Amino acid sequence: MLDKKYYLETFDMFRSSWGEESEFRLCIEEMSELTKELCKFMRYSRNEKSQENDEKLKQIKSNIIEETADVLICASQIMHIVGEDEVRKVMDYKIQRGRKIVEDYINKTKNQPKKN
């Protein structure tokens, strides 16, 4: 795996070569490509099982992997531009808040009587 220094140097090269606005636009484009593949996956996963459909789902999953990598690279670049420490603080807060919400939900559903 590449180290963080390599990533940051590369992000600086992108930024100085193409500018921040270009990086923002690229991130938007990559997010829309991932969105499209996720929508396809949901559509094909509802289809009846067949070899053709399974092959299509396999290809879509491969596309999702590639588009996810693109989005994560772009999101990392955006973090680098706007301030990684600030983004991580907000991420920590949102993860803790989300965990509390799901823990409350789990506890609430655990304590409810079973429906017959």
Say yes or no to pLDDT of 48 above 90: no
Q: What is the mean pLDDT of the chain?
A: 95
If you search the block for the tokens 């990086």, which residue do you land on? 23
Say yes or no to pLDDT of 114 above 80: no
Confidence band for 116, pLDDT divided at 50, 70 and 90: low
Q: What is the pTM of this model?
A: 0.86
What percentage of the chain exceeds 90 in pLDDT?
Answer: 90
Q: What is the pLDDT of residue 91?
A: 97
Say yes or no to pLDDT of 88 above 70: yes
- What Cα–Cα distance (Å) separates residue 62 from each residue in 30, 58, 66, 68, 82? 15, 6, 6, 10, 30
Q: What is the pLDDT of residue 104?
A: 96
Distance CA(52)–CA(75), nearest Å, equals 34
Say yes or no to pLDDT of 60 above 90: yes
Give the start-to-end residue ranges of the domains of the chain. Answer: 4-82
